[in-house]
Amino acid sequence: MNPEKPLLRIGMIGFGCVGQGFYDILQRQPGLGLAVTRIAVKNSTKPRSLPAERFSFHADELLADPELDVLVEVIDDADEAFRLVSSALRQGRRVVSANKAMVARHLAELVALQRQFSGTLLYEAAVCGSIPIIRTLDSYFSHEPLRSVSGIFNGSSNYVLTRMSEAGSGYASALAEAQALGFAETDPTLDMEGLDPRSKAVILAAHAYGVFLNPTDVLNLGIARISAADIAFAATQGQKIKLVAGLYRLPNGRVTALVCPQFVGPESPLYAVEHEFNGVVIEAEYAGTQFLRGRGAGGLPTGSAVLADVLALQRGFRYGYAKQQSARAETQLLEGLEVDIYVRHESAAGLRKALGWLAPSAQRENPNTSGTQATGTVGLEALWRCRAALREAGVFVARLDEVRPIPQVPVEAEAAYVLA
Ligand SMILES: NC(=O)c1ccc[n+]([C@@H]2O[C@H](COP(=O)([O-])OP(=O)(O)OC[C@H]3O[C@@H](n4cnc5c(N)ncnc54)[C@H](OP(=O)(O)O)[C@@H]3O)[C@@H](O)[C@H]2O)c1
């Protein structure tokens, strides 16, 4: 270590997958001038990879320790994480967090706290693990208008979709495989229902467009009701189904956001993002299309993002949120927007019912098919209104292309839905 370089003392709250990963990286690279001097965890009886005396069981002790230069918050409890991080920011401290649910829910307040108390919060690890997407949007594209930022933001669901596609596995067995390999949680709801990628999209919206979205206002459809029939249907079109989270600038300049399974063809860089990997496509006004792909989870990849944030704090870096100041976009999440979709239910009667919810006057039967799959156009407001009913009824929905404004000319009702 450079003897001139002062040691940065880190207090780490949480020592699970990410905490251990970050700690292991520092052991491999001792010359960085960083030292984890205190660690707080929750459970006093859990076996640890470090001696027991290294741990505290009260995170507030770290908050009260003036010797600590940086706090790294990597716990799995979003409410407690917000309490700890907001308290630290009120003390004007430098903080790194990996907690996407917490950051997405409280981002506007966290930004205000940083401004009010001169603290700094960085959270690169919260979005797509090792992919440096937040800093890319916040710094590199700070002033360039962006047409879209979209991608595969969740590795567990992408692993399930990949296995269904390459091995012909059913949803349940692909999910069980993902769980056995540690890619999916025991309760897979957050990942498979699109809640986790929704949090990430909300965080990126602040940096890409200067907008602070409420996560519960963003439409999220997941893959929990997908079947081999859906994967096979996409394959007949030369496409794959991916769970895509996206932020898109509309022709009127407003920004929309949604998370939805999507048919993706080989022309998209997302087509080749497989297994637990994540990928982000940025479409910038002047730079054109850029694509980042990498590991979105795991101890070392996520620890690498935490390390990058800690080193950035050491250099005095903070997010600029430039577009919030200079070019904050208006949002248009549902109203006046439509999208082409694919809909499937295991029974023809179930499909007819679902189409009735989506667009009562717009069904057309095709006697040459089993009648369980259909394609058509739907307004996002209708999709939002019946999303819970579709979920409960076991209907799978995927979008076929981009969200667009509803044209002013009325669409012929009979052309709106075609059984596939
Ligand atoms: N895992 C990933 O690949 C990944 C990727 C990106 C982001 N993240 C995010 O990173 C965060 C941590 O994830 P993880 O996978 O490392 O979780 P994890 O393996 O479940 O570990 C969570 C850690 O937090 C500790 N903890 C929980 N509540 C606490 C409290 N009140 N005070 C002190 N410690 C507390 C736990 O203590 P005990 O050890 O005593 O149980 C445990 O050490 C989450 O927000 C997650 O969403 C994870």
Give residue-wise pLDDT tens across range 75-104. 999 999 999 999 999 999 999 999 999 999
Alpha-carbon gap, residue 364 to 341, rounded angstroms:
15
Residue 2 has pLDDT above 80, yes or no: no
Please report the pLDDT score of residue 420 as a whole number: 67
Q: How far is the centre of ligand 1, averaged over its atoms, from the C-alpha of 18 (Å)?
A: 7
User: CB atoms < 10 A from the CB of 177, how many?
Assistant: 16
What single-letter amino acid sits at 411? Answer: V
Closest-lying ligand 1 atom to the alpha carbon of residue 21 = 16
Mutation to probe ligand 1, out of 22, 41, 158 (largest number of atoms < 8 A from CB): 41
Q: Are strands 255-264 and 417-419 parallel, antiparallel or unpaired?
A: unpaired
One-letter amino acid at 143 equals H
- For the CA of 196, the closest atom of ligand 1 is 47
Give residues (CB < 6 A) around ligand 1. Answer: 13-19, 40-43, 46, 59, 74-77, 80, 98-100, 125-126, 129, 297-298, 302
Distance 10 CA to ligand 1 centre (A): 17
Statement: residue 368 has pLDDT above 70: no
CA of 74 relative to ligand 1 center, distance in Å: 5
What is the amino acid identity at position 13?
A: I
**Ligand 1: distance of its center to the CA of 162 in Å?**
27
Count the neighbouring beta carbons within 10 Å of the beta carbon of residue 64.
11
Question: Cα dihedral sign for 80, 86, 92, 93?
Answer: positive
String of DSSP letters for 180-205: HTTSS-SS-HHHHTTHHHHHHHHHHH
Ligand 1: centre distance to CA 13 (Å): 8
The residue nearest atom 14 of ligand 1, judged by CA position, is 17
Pairwise CA distance, residues 180 & 125, whole Å: 24
Test site for ligand 1: of 15, 72, 74, 95, most ligand atoms within 8 A of the Cβ: 74
Residue 115: pLDDT band with limits 50, 70, 90: very high
Annotated catalytic residue, options 42, 46, 200, 353: 200
**Both structure tokens of 85:** 């991080």
The lowest-confidence range among 27-41, 80-94, 184-198, 275-289 is 184-198
Mean of pLDDT values over 304-328: 94
Please tell me the distance from the alpha carbon of residue 41 to that of residue 288, in angstroms, as a whole number.
45
CA–CA distance, 283 with 288 (Å, rounded to integer): 6
pLDDT in tens, 238-289: 999 999 999 999 999 999 999 999 999 999 999 999 999 999 999 999 999 9
Pocket test for ligand 1, best of 13, 23, 75, 134 (most atoms within 8 A of CB): 75
- For this structure, is 100 an active site residue? no
In percent, the amount of the chain with pLDDT more than 90 equals 87
C-alpha of residue 125 to centroid of ligand 1, in Å: 12
The span from the CA of 104 to the CA of 362, in Å, is 37
Q: What is the CA radius of gyration of the chain?
A: 23
Nearest CA to 313 among 84, 103, 70?
70
Ligand 1 mutation target, pool 41, 76, 133, most atoms within 8 A of CB:
76
Q: What is the mean pLDDT of residues 199-223?
A: 98
Mean pLDDT of all residues in 321-346: 92
Q: How far is CA 295 from CA 125, 212, 229, 357, 416, in A?
A: 11, 26, 29, 39, 40
**The tokens of 165 are what?**
């596609």
Question: Mean pLDDT, to the nearest integer, of 409-415?
Answer: 54
DSSP for 295-313, please give it: E-SSHHHHHHHHHHHHHHH
Place of tokens 């700070």: 142
Do 281 and 150 form a contact (C-beta atoms < 8 A)?
A: yes
Burial of 185 by CB count in 10 Å (0-12 exposed, 13-18 middle, 19+ buried)? middle
The domains found in the chain, sorted by start residue, are 8-126 (3.40.50.720), 133-294 (3.30.360.10), 337-419 (3.30.70)
For strands 240-249 and 146-152, give the pairing. Answer: antiparallel
**Residue 189 reports pLDDT greater than 50:** yes
d(CA 181, CA 193): 20
Contacts of 303 (CB under 8 A, 6+ apart): 18, 20, 21, 22, 23, 24, 25, 125
pLDDT band at 167 (very low <50, low <70, confident <90, very high): confident
| Crossing angle of helices 100-117 and 195-209, rounded to 10° | 30
Q: Which atom of ligand 1 is nearest to the CA of 126?
A: 7
Task: Note the pLDDT of residue 412.
Answer: 57
Please tell me the predicted confidence (pLDDT) of residue 218.
98
pLDDT tens, residue by residue, 377-405: 999 999 999 999 999 999 999 999 999 99
Q: Which atom of ligand 1 is nearest to the CA of 297?
A: 3
Grade residue 366 by pLDDT with cuts at 50, 70 and 90: very low
Strands 55-56 and 373-379: unpaired
| Ligand 1: centre distance to CA 34 (Å) | 21
How far apart, in Å, do the first and last CA atoms of the chain sit?
65
Q: What pLDDT does residue 5 have?
A: 56
Do 154 and 101 touch, CB atoms closer than 8 A?
no
In this structure, the residue with its CA closest to atom 10 of ligand 1 is 98
Ligand 1 atom index nearest CA of 155: 3
Ligand 1, atom 4: nearest CA belongs to which residue? 297
Residue 238 Cα to ligand 1 midpoint, Å, equals 40
Segment 4-29 shows an average pLDDT of: 93
pLDDT above 80: residue 66? yes
Average pLDDT, the chain: 93
Q: If you search the block for the tokens 């690279």, which residue do you land on?
A: 29
What integer pLDDT is reported at residue 329 of this predicted model? 81
